[in-house]
Structure 1
Amino acid sequence: MKFFLVSILCVFCGGALSAQTQDSTKTYKKRVLENTEVDVLASYYSQDGENAAVSGGKGTEKLTDIAPSIVVSIPLNADDILSIDANVSAYTSASSSNINPFDGSGEADPFVASSGASSSDVWANVNASYSHSSDDRNKIWSANLSLSSEYDYFSFGFGGSYTRLFNEKNTELTLKANVYLDTWKPIYPYELRPFAAGGDGLSNGLFRSYSITGNQDYNPIFSEFGNKSRNSYSLGFSFSQILSKKLQMSLEGDVVRQQGLLSTPFQRVYFSDVEDSFIQNFQLADAIEQLPDTRNKIAVGGRLNYYLNEIFVLRGYYRYYTDDWGIQSHTASLEVPIKISQKFTLYPSYRYYSQTAADYFAPYESHLSTEEFYTSDYDLSKFTANQYGFGVSYTDIFTNFHIWDFGLKSIDLKYHHYARNSSFRADMISGGFKFILDGSK
C-alpha cells in the first residue's frame, strides 16, 4: 500500500540498441518493444489509528512514507526485453519508535512517538526481469530476480512465467511461480531484552533507572527466536478472454506457502491473567507475538471490463482469499475511466474489503498466558474497509516534450483515501511519468 509525485529524473542507460537485421526473404517481424521506456514513479503515504501492534493493540499507528522508484525497459532485440526496477521507501513511524519507548525526551506513552533509531527506516529493492517472445508472438516466457533490504530484514527472490496466446490472440493463459528466501535480524521490545538467555533481568540498568508501578515483580514470557528465516513459495495462473468487441474477462488464482519466522519480533502482547506492570505511562510487555511457523494461502479472483462508448469504460474486480490461520476475505472494486479528450482520462474508483479474524488474534489484554499462539495485530482482526480513489492521466501522443533523448509519453496522478470500521485511516498520493527513447534522434 504507497504513492507520490517525483520532481527529479536521473536516467543512466548505456549501450547501443540496434534493430535486428532481417533477411529480405523473411516476413517482417514487429518488435515487442520499439524503444527503451523509462517509468519514473513516486508516492506519499500517511496513516493513523489507535491500535498499534508494537504496543500490544493500543497506541498510535501514525506513519508516513515516501517511495520513489524507476523502471527501465530495454529492447535487446526484436524478441527480448530486459527490465530493471529500482525502489526506495523511506518511512517515519510513531508506532515502531516505541520498540524502545524510553529513549525520548518525554515520558514513555504508547500514544506518543519516541525519538529513537527505530522511528525511521529505509527499504530498498532492485528487481530485474527478462522476457522472450516467440516469432509469432503467441508464446512469452520470462524470468526475474529480486533483492530487498531494510534494517532488520533481507530478501532474495526469483521466479518466472510462461504465457500462451490462442484463438488469434483473443485468449491468453499465463502460469507463474516465485520463491522468496528472507532473513530476519530480530529486534525485540526494549524491556524484554534483559530477560533473554544470559540476561540480567530486573537488575538491568533500565529497571534501576526507572521505577516499576503496578506489578513490581515483572516477569515476562520471553525467549529469542531460534529460526530467523522466512521462505515463501507461490504458484499462480491467469486466464483472459475477449468475449466481444466491448467485453473482456479474466480469471486469476494464487497458492502461497510460507514457512519460518512468521511472527513479528517487536510486536507486544498483553495477557488478561497477568497483572500489569508500567514504567511511566507505558505498559511493559507480557510477551511478544507468537504465530505458527507455516501458513498456506489461496486466492481466486476475476475481472470484467466493459466498453460502454468512446467516453466510458467499466472495470470490475472481485477476489476471494482464505488461509489456514482462519482468515477469509472478500475484495470488490469498480473503476470507471472517463476519456474527456484525446489526451486526458479521469479515473474515479471504489474498493470494498472485508475479512474475518485470524484464529490467533485477540484485542489488547484479551489473550491468556496459557495459549500457544497469540497476536494483537489488528491487520489480523475482523474488519471492513472502504477505499475511494480518483486519478487523471495525460497522454502525449506525439511525445513533444523531451528530456535529453527521451520523449514524454504519459503522466498519471492518483489519490486514494482508505478507512476501516475502526480508527485506522490512510491517504495515498501517487505520480508516474513514462518516457520513451526517441529513435529519430
Structure 2
Amino acid sequence: MKNQLKNIILFICVFTFAKVSAQTNQDSTKVYKKRVLETTEVDFLSSYYTQSGDNAAVSGGIGTEALTDVTGTIIVAIPLNDDDVLTIDAGVSAYTSASSSNVGPFDGAQPADPFVASSGASSSDVWTNLTASYSHSSDDRNNIWSAKASVSSEYDYFSAGVGGSYTKLFNEKNTEVSVNGNVYIDTWSAIYPTELRPFFGGNGINNSLFTQNTITGNANYSPRFTPFANEGRNSYSLGFGFSQILHKNVQGSLALDFVQQQGLLSTPFQRVYFADVADSFIDNFQLADAVERLPDARFKVAVGGRLNWYLNETFTVRTFYRYYFDDWGINSHTASIEVPIKLTNKFTLYPSYRFYNQTAADYFAPANENLSTADFYTSDFDLSEYSANQFGFGVSYTDIFTNAHIWKFGLKSIDLKFYQYDRDTTFSSSIITAGFKFVMD
C-alpha cells in the first residue's frame, strides 16, 4: 500500500513538473506585441487659402481668378484592438470666388466685366467630405491591410469612392513594398454659362437677357452649344511603392502611379472664345462661343522618388522628384526640398522649396485662339504651359508628455505652415495651415 502511495505521489509530481515546464516553454516563445495605436488620436486641421490671377477659365481665359477658401477638418483614429485601427476623416471647405461668380456675370447691378465679381449664386459654395478607413496589421507588424470608403459633395458635384492597400515589410523592416487602388464614381449637375442656356430648350436670341441688353460687336450672336449628354465621371487609380533604408541615416523610396478617367472630364461652365467667330459682348463681358470640350478619357502616369538624409540631431534633408505624363499631351517635372531644423526637443522649423513645370495640353489655346472646327478645345490655364515656384516655412511644437489637456485629451503636437506659390503667368496663391493633434489619456 505504501509503495502504491509513493508511486502515485511520484506520478503526480512528475506530471505537474512536466506541465509547468511545458507552459514555461510555451510562454518563452511568446513575443511582446506592441499595439499599432496606443490610444485614440484626434487631429484638428484648418487652412486659409487665397489666390489671384487674370486668366480665369470661367470667362474663357481672361478675367479675375480671385478666390478665398477656408477649410476645417477633424480626423479621429480609434484603436479597436492591438491590431486594428478605424479612422474617420470629416471636412468642410467654404469658398468665395470672383471667378466662378461670372458663370452668371449679368446678375449684378454694375456692368458685367470679367475682372469684376458678380453677385450671383455661383460666387460661393461649400464642399463637404467624409472618409472612413480601416487598417489591420499582422502580429509581427510585417503585413498591413487597409480599406476605405468616402463621399464628398458640393453644389454641382457628388463623388463616392472606395479603395484599399496592402503593405509588406521584410528584411528586418528595412524594406517595404506596397500596392494601393482606388475607384471614384462622380456625378456632375451641369451648370452652364448664363448666355448659353436659352439656346437649348429656350427661345435663343429672343431671350430677355438679349432683348433687355444691347449686344455689341457681332449682334448676330449664335453660340456653338449642346449640353453634355453624360454627366458622370469614373476614376480608377493603381499605385505601387517601394521603400528602403539605405543607411542608418538615409532612406529612399520610389512610387509608380496609374490613373484612368472616363466620362465628363470637361468643366461645363468654362467658356471658350474662337478665333474664327466674331466677338459678341454685353457690357464689358464677351459672350461665350462654346463651353470647354475635352476628350471623355484620360490616362495618367506618374513616377517619382524620395531621398531623406538624417545629417545630425539638428538637420534633416528631405528631397522629392516626380515625372508625370498623360495622353492629353502634358509632361511635367516636380522637384522639392525640405530641411527640418530641430531647435529643441519640442520645436522644429520646416523651410521648403518646390519647383514645377509642364507642357501644354494638346487642346489648350488662350482666349480667342481656339478654332470652332476643332473637336476639343479649352482655355483653362491649368492645362497651359507654365512653370511655378513655391516657397514654404513651418514650425512644429511637440510635447511627448502631453502636459496641456483639453478634457480627457492631451495636446501632442501643433503644426503651423505657410506656402507662397507663383506661376510665370499672372497666377499666384498663398495658404496658411494649422494642425493640432490630441491623444486620449
What TM-score comes out, normalization by structure 2 length? 0.93
Which whole-Å CA distance do the structure 2 matches of 1:112 and 1:354 have between them?
29
1:136 corresponding residue in structure 2 = 140
Which whole-Å CA distance do the structure 2 matches of 1:105 and 1:239 have between them?
58
Which whole-Å CA distance do the structure 1 matches of 2:44 and 2:299 have between them?
35
- Say whether residues 1:36 and 2:36 are aligned partners: no
2:74 corresponding residue in structure 1 = 70
1:155 corresponding residue in structure 2 = 159
SS of the residue corresponding to residue 247 of structure 2 reads: coil
4+ residue runs over 3 A deviation = 23-27
1:146 corresponding residue in structure 2 = 150
Higher helix share: 2
- Say whether residues 1:319 and 2:322 are aligned partners: yes
- Say whether residues 1:277 and 2:264 are aligned partners: no
Mapping of 1:260-409 within 5 angstroms? 260-409=263-412
1:46 corresponding residue in structure 2 = 50
Higher-Rg member (1/2): 2
What is the identity, as a one-letter code, of the residue corresponding to 1:170?
N
Which whole-Å CA distance do the structure 1 matches of 2:431 and 2:137 have between them?
36
Which whole-Å CA distance do the structure 2 matches of 1:427 and 1:373 have between them?
32
Q: Give 1:358 shift.
A: 0.1
Q: Give 1:209 shift.
A: 1.3
What is the identity, as a one-letter code, of the residue corresponding to 1:75?
P
Which whole-Å CA distance do the structure 2 matches of 1:153 and 1:384 have between them?
30
Q: Deviations over 1:362-382 (max 9, x none)?
A: 001001110110000000000
Mapping of 1:215-254 within 5 angstroms? 215-254=218-257
Which whole-Å CA distance do the structure 1 matches of 2:195 and 2:85 have between them?
51
What is the identity, as a one-letter code, of the residue corresponding to 2:192?
Y
- Say whether residues 1:195 and 2:199 are aligned partners: yes
1:9 corresponding residue in structure 2 = none
Q: Deviations over 1:282-315 (max 9, x none)?
A: 0000000000000000000000000111100000
Q: Deviations over 1:314-345 (max 9, x none)?
A: 00000000000000000000000000011000
Which whole-Å CA distance do the structure 2 matches of 1:62 and 1:238 have between them?
37
1:428 corresponding residue in structure 2 = 431
Which whole-Å CA distance do the structure 2 matches of 1:397 and 1:233 have between them?
40
Q: Give 1:211 shift.
A: 1.0
1:255 corresponding residue in structure 2 = 258
Q: Give 1:24 shift.
A: 6.8
Of the three residues 162, 180, 183, the one matched with 2:187 is 183
Q: Give 1:199 shift.
A: 1.5
Which whole-Å CA distance do the structure 2 matches of 1:166 and 1:66 have between them?
42
SS of the residue corresponding to residue 118 of structure 1 reads: helix
Which whole-Å CA distance do the structure 2 matches of 1:418 and 1:395 have between them?
27
What is the identity, as a one-letter code, of the residue corresponding to 1:204?
N
- Where does the alignment leave 5 or more consecutive residues of structure 2 unmatched? 1-25
Q: Give 1:27 shift.
A: 3.2
Aligned-residue CA RMSD (Å): 0.9
Mapping of 1:400-419 within 5 angstroms? 400-419=403-422
Q: Deviations over 1:194-236 (max 9, x none)?
A: 001x221011111111111111100000011000100000000
- Where does the alignment leave 5 or more consecutive residues of structure 1 unmatched? 1-22
What TM-score comes out, normalization by structure 1 length? 0.93
What is the identity, as a one-letter code, of the residue corresponding to 1:230?
R
What is the identity, as a one-letter code, of the residue corresponding to 1:150?
E
Which whole-Å CA distance do the structure 2 matches of 1:282 and 1:97 have between them?
13
Of the three residues 73, 96, 107, the one matched with 2:100 is 96
Q: Deviations over 1:52-76 (max 9, x none)?
A: 0000000000000000000000000
Which whole-Å CA distance do the structure 1 matches of 2:103 and 2:371 have between them?
23
What is the identity, as a one-letter code, of the residue corresponding to 1:385?
A
Which whole-Å CA distance do the structure 1 matches of 2:331 and 2:202 have between them?
41
Q: Deviations over 1:11-47 (max 9, x none)?
A: xxxxxxxxxxxx9774321100000000000000000
Q: Give 1:349 shift.
A: 0.1
Which whole-Å CA distance do the structure 1 matches of 2:244 and 2:103 have between them?
50
Report how many residues are paired. Answer: 415
What is the identity, as a one-letter code, of the residue corresponding to 2:199?
F
Q: Deviations over 1:259-285 (max 9, x none)?
A: 000000000000011011000000000
What is the identity, as a one-letter code, of the residue corresponding to 1:148?
S
What is the identity, as a one-letter code, of the residue corresponding to 2:362?
D
